[in-house]
Structure 1
Amino acid sequence: MTQFSGIQPTGLTHLGNYLGAIRQWAARHHRDDLFCVVDLHAMTIRHNPNVLRARAREQLAMLIAAGVNPDIACVFTQSDLIQEHAALTWVLECVVSYGELARMTQFKDKAKGQDGVRAGLFTYPVLMAADILLHGAEEVPVGEDQRQHLELARTLAKRFNATYGEVLTVPRAVTPRVAARVADLAAPERKMSKSSGDQSGTVLVLDPPELIRRKIMRAVTDQVGEVRYAPESQPGVSNLLDILAACTNGEPRALAEQISGYAELKERTAEAVIEELRPVREGVRELLADPAELDQLRAHGAERARAGCAHRLEAVLKVTGLR
């Protein structure tokens, strides 16, 4: 059962991204699965080309360093198949309606109050559909924020097949395995985010150990003074327990009973996070320090992805009269 997962290089990867997605991909992937750094998606807003290039390489290195085996799953960068992705995107743009795109919730949210909104932000869901359909993915792990986009991909696949013939696989959404909800250390009422203006509460995967420790030791707790797992009444303490549990394969409530105070909770959480991220950080550093090795792995992934989708794209072009 082929799964497709994409990750944008639009910011520095934080602990929530790692625990919620990347670590799970590394733990469970199969030969037909595809993991894509979707750098084309990062162009829907103004960007720095050098930063995009560097972060795409960093993101690819992180997937591999985290344990996604490029000899098993297909790990690649979207822009290395830009001709293939762009070709199917155009075909699907001639299948989708304006009204369907105008109803996309994320576009309305992101475009609200902005001047000069890019057309790419409007058509972005079609590019996402092309990513999935080009590679014949049968399953796509999605959160609630992307479910509407996946439904559009399903609609376009069905419409294309009904119009031109059975060529595209209709994907289905799968719910990712539940991971700890990692909240901002400085503001535990909100999720940890790479787009947050204040990074004091965001632990980045590549942060050095001393910085990770400093951020966690300064995490917001409360005046209760008792270590309890109570997300509603003690969100800061509960967030630290969630993080500690995720990094030690423990259970938040059981851990709370073992810890006497907030200082001990922060210290144990800091140590657990540092040790969890250490091999990933070191692996990324090694890959980025060896450009030839990373380039070889990137080329290998692109070659596999291209070989896997070539027949499908050729069939699309043929049935639509372009071949």
Structure 2
Amino acid sequence: MFSCRRVLRLRQVHLPQRGLSTSNSVHNDTKSVPKRGRVIFSGIQPTGIPHLGNYLGALSNWVKLQRNADPEDELFFSIVGWHALTLPQDPQELSASRMNMLATLLAIGIDPKRSVVFHQDDNQCHTELAWILSCVTPIGKLRRMTTWKSRLADSRNAGSDSEVDESLLNAGLFTYPILQAADIMAYRATHIPVGEDQTQHLELSRELANIFNRTFAARKRFFPIPTQVNTPSRRILSLRDPTSKMSKSSPDVQSRILLTDSTSKIKSKIQASVTDSILGVTYDPVNRPGTSNLLTILAACTDESPEEVASRYEGKSHRELKADTADAVEELLKGPREDFERIRNEKGYLTEIAKQGADRARERSSATLKEVRTMVGLS
């Protein structure tokens, strides 16, 4: 789709294959055992147009997973609208963002014929399984989640009474890690591509799978214990505050590069990015975060390490680094940007893709829920 493509090296741990073996004709026995593929699941919230950090992080990884998947692998990529509701949303904006995110996934290369791409909120199996899992989840595990603790800390900073502060937070913020586990377990997913900031949530999913298996499945592995798929991608930081990551929620629009930004906007944002007054260009994330962030972005576009890129800029200026980074980002985004602008206006096509994806997702997850209901006594 576009010439400047970032190649990511994924470190994956495959679940062991189970099959029968005998001492006779190992070759023939191996051929007779069908290969069991991975079930890959990941989701993204429909909150605004994705920025460069989203693209170089999760989204380009999804495309690579799809491209390198074995024929036996199943891939589920979900737009998780229910998770978006944990924070206040404008209904009209959320509705538009759902369709824009679907258009984005198609524009960057997610193929709905190869992968199941769908709106999470179109499949009620997620919420049904989340309720069942909530009935076996210890409250203590949820209180230890760093996301909840950080929200609680923010609330307490606004007042002195901790009981009142906690009561101001909605229950969805407290229980959404269970819904996240249900998202994964509804498809009995085996491999989950997420960033390091989601490791704790995935660990909860693993624990809940174990709890359910021990409680209802006679210790059989009905729910697989999902494996995290790690990527060596580096965080893309804010162009205006390189001590924090690039974010859609930042009030400074100059801090991020959006998928829809024009060539001129990309150049102006990078030219205005914060660097430092030190002469020369070196990669030093601690002492030179702004300069290092630009090197990280450029390296992501050229499939190199930031250190390799920095070696080419010895004796060069920030002006030259910014110009080259802007050109590389434009080359990376221009293809997806053009496709996005075309697809987002094809409302009928997007509606049909969403329907087909939801149908396929429900078909798979309904089979899971049918067995779950039987195991817990509801069928």
TM-score by length of 1: 0.94
| Aligned partner (choices 330, 335, 348) of residue 274 of structure 1 | 330
Structure 1 stretch displaced more, 260-269 or 141-150: 141-150
Output the CA distance in 2 between the equivalents of 1:95 and 1:222. 52
Give aligned pairs, total: 322
Output the CA distance in 2 between the equivalents of 1:282 and 1:187. 29
Q: Percent identity?
A: 42
Output the CA distance in 1 between the equivalents of 2:57 and 2:74. 21
1:76 is matched with: 118
1:134 is matched with: 186
Asked if structure 2 preserves the Cα contact closer than 8 Å seen for 1:185 and 1:219, the reply is yes
1:172 is matched with: 226
Structure 2 CA distance for partners of 1:231 and 1:100, relative to 1, 3 Å: closer
Output the CA distance in 1 between the equivalents of 2:143 and 2:244. 28
Structure 2 CA distance for partners of 1:56 and 1:111, relative to 1, 3 Å: farther
Tell me the SS of whatever aligns to 1:33: strand
Superposition pairs of residues 196-235 of structure 1, within 5 angstroms: 196-235=250-289
Structure 2 CA distance for partners of 1:275 and 1:311, relative to 1, 3 Å: same
Is 1:160 paired with 2:197?
Answer: no
Deviations 1:167-209 (A, max 9, x none): 7423333242211321111121221112222221211122222
Runs of 5+ unmatched residues, structure 2: 1-37, 156-164
Output the CA distance in 1 between the equivalents of 2:101 and 2:234. 22
2:95 is matched with: 53
Asked if structure 2 preserves the Cα contact closer than 8 Å seen for 1:75 and 1:301, the reply is yes
Is 1:21 paired with 2:77?
Answer: no
Asked if structure 1 preserves the Cα contact closer than 8 Å seen for 2:205 and 2:226, the reply is no
1:9 is matched with: 46
Output the CA distance in 1 between the equivalents of 2:250 and 2:366. 40
Structure 2 CA distance for partners of 1:147 and 1:257, relative to 1, 3 Å: closer
Kindly state the Cα deviation for residue 111 of structure 1 after the two structures are TM-superposed: 2.9
Kindly state the Cα deviation for residue 277 of structure 1 after the two structures are TM-superposed: 0.8
Superposition pairs of residues 86-97 of structure 1, within 5 angstroms: 86-97=127-138
Tell me the SS of whatever aligns to 1:233: coil
Output the CA distance in 2 between the equivalents of 1:79 and 1:316. 20
Deviations 1:69-109 (A, max 9, x none): 1111111110110x211111111111112222222221121
Output the CA distance in 1 between the equivalents of 2:39 and 2:63. 15
| Aligned partner (choices 202, 222, 232) of residue 150 of structure 1 | 202
Structure 2 CA distance for partners of 1:231 and 1:112, relative to 1, 3 Å: closer
Output the CA distance in 1 between the equivalents of 2:89 and 2:275. 36
Output the CA distance in 2 between the equivalents of 1:131 and 1:168. 16
Tell me the SS of whatever aligns to 1:51: helix
Kindly state the Cα deviation for residue 214 of structure 1 after the two structures are TM-superposed: 0.6
Tell me the SS of whatever aligns to 1:126: helix
Structure 2 CA distance for partners of 1:175 and 1:312, relative to 1, 3 Å: closer
Asked if structure 2 preserves the Cα contact closer than 8 Å seen for 1:142 and 1:173, the reply is no
Asked if structure 2 preserves the Cα contact closer than 8 Å seen for 1:182 and 1:239, the reply is yes
Output the CA distance in 2 between the equivalents of 1:134 and 1:144. 23
| Aligned partner (choices 344, 354, 358) of residue 288 of structure 1 | 344
Asked if structure 2 preserves the Cα contact closer than 8 Å seen for 1:168 and 1:312, the reply is no
| Aligned partner (choices 194, 198, 204) of residue 248 of structure 2 | 194
Q: Return the index of the structure with the highest Cα Rg.
A: 2
Give 1:274's aligned amino acid.
E
2:147 is matched with: 106
Output the CA distance in 1 between the equivalents of 2:305 and 2:367. 47
Structure 2 CA distance for partners of 1:159 and 1:255, relative to 1, 3 Å: closer
2:319 is matched with: 263
Tell me the SS of whatever aligns to 1:213: helix
Output the CA distance in 2 between the equivalents of 1:296 and 1:210. 34
1:63 is matched with: 105
Kindly state the Cα deviation for residue 220 of structure 1 after the two structures are TM-superposed: 1.2
Whichever structure has more helix as a proportion of its residues is 1
Structure 2 CA distance for partners of 1:51 and 1:237, relative to 1, 3 Å: same
Asked if structure 2 preserves the Cα contact closer than 8 Å seen for 1:219 and 1:236, the reply is yes
Give 1:88's aligned amino acid.
L
Output the CA distance in 2 between the equivalents of 1:49 and 1:171. 36
Give 1:284's aligned amino acid.
F
Kindly state the Cα deviation for residue 118 of structure 1 after the two structures are TM-superposed: 0.7
2:23 is matched with: none
TM-score by length of 2: 0.81
Kindly state the Cα deviation for residue 146 of structure 1 after the two structures are TM-superposed: 1.7
